[in-house]
């Protein structure tokens, strides 16, 4: 079982043929759109039939899309614990700023000895909330600009 993200591998787009990855993502999209109501999809891999949950195929399609766009991909279990540096990197903030968020109890964490650990799931929940707040403020600013006649 993976407890931290330090042991995870990242798939790099240069490890794959971009054209093949792009074609595979299109094929998976088409397959998934036809099988929307099904929970499982039967596929043939090297001549062997295999039933794969549709949710897993959607995730595989998303991975293929990201690789075809030239983005590296790492799968992180939601229960994985992150160091403060890993959490800061994922939020694209400094480690001291992240520690401040932890100390202000804006983000849950636990202590392992004297080291803080943040659950990946908690970090992503915090990020979604921050993104929603940011979007709301932008929408309010756009509405105010429109009302003031500053819009295009």
CATH number at residue 39: 3.30.1580
On whether residue 1 sits in a domain, the answer given is no
User: Are 8 and 75 spatial neighbours (Cβ–Cβ below 8 Å)?
Assistant: yes
- Domain range for 50 is 10-68
Main-chain phi, psi angles of 46, to 5 degrees: 50, 45
Q: How confident is the model at residue 1 (pLDDT cuts 50, 70, 90)?
A: very low
On whether residue 124 sits in a domain, the answer given is yes
How far apart CA 27 and CA 86 sit, in angstroms, is 34
pTM of the model: 0.64
Question: Is residue 16 domain-shared with residue 64, that is, in the same domain?
Answer: yes
Question: Is residue 86 domain-shared with residue 118, that is, in the same domain?
Answer: yes
How far apart CA 30 and CA 102 sit, in angstroms, is 43
Question: Is residue 125 domain-shared with residue 98, that is, in the same domain?
Answer: yes
Question: Is residue 54 domain-shared with residue 93, that is, in the same domain?
Answer: no
pLDDT more than 90, % of the chain? 45
Tokens of 102: 């932890």
Question: Is residue 142 domain-shared with residue 85, that is, in the same domain?
Answer: yes
Main-chain phi, psi angles of 81, to 5 degrees: -100, 135
Question: Is residue 85 domain-shared with residue 142, that is, in the same domain?
Answer: yes
On whether residue 96 sits in a domain, the answer given is yes
Question: Is residue 106 domain-shared with residue 64, that is, in the same domain?
Answer: no
Question: Is residue 141 domain-shared with residue 86, that is, in the same domain?
Answer: yes
Question: Is residue 92 domain-shared with residue 142, that is, in the same domain?
Answer: yes
Per-residue pLDDT tens for 4-56? 555 567 777 776 677 788 888 888 888 888 756 667 878 888 999 988 888 89
On whether residue 152 sits in a domain, the answer given is no
Question: Is residue 86 domain-shared with residue 142, that is, in the same domain?
Answer: yes
How far apart CA 52 and CA 132 sit, in angstroms, is 33
Question: Is residue 97 domain-shared with residue 135, that is, in the same domain?
Answer: yes
How far apart CA 12 and CA 48 sit, in angstroms, is 28
User: Are 50 and 43 spatial neighbours (Cβ–Cβ below 8 Å)?
Assistant: yes
CATH of residue 92: 1.10.1660
On whether residue 4 sits in a domain, the answer given is no
Pick from 74, 75, 72, 56: which is nearest to 21 by CA?
72
Tally of domains in the chain:
2
């Amino acid at each position: 079982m993976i407890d931290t993200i330090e042991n995870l591998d990242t798939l790099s787009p240069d490890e794959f043929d971009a054209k093949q990855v792009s074609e595979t993502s299109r094929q998976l999209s088409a397959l998934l759109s036809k099988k929307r109501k099904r929970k499982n999809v039967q596929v043939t891999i090297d001549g062997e039939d295999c039933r794969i949950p549709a949710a897993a195929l959607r995730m595989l399609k998303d991975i293929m899309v990201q690789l075809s766009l030239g983005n590296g991909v790492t799968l992180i279990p939601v229960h994985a614990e992150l160091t403060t540096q890993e959490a800061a990197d994922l939020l694209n903030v400094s480690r001291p700023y992240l520690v401040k968020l932890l100390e202000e109890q804006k983000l849950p964490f636990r202590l392992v000895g004297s080291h803080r650990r943040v659950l990946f799931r908690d970090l992503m929940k915090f990020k979604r909330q921050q993104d929603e707040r940011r979007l709301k403020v932008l929408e309010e600013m756009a509405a105010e600009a429109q009302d003031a006649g500053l819009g295009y």
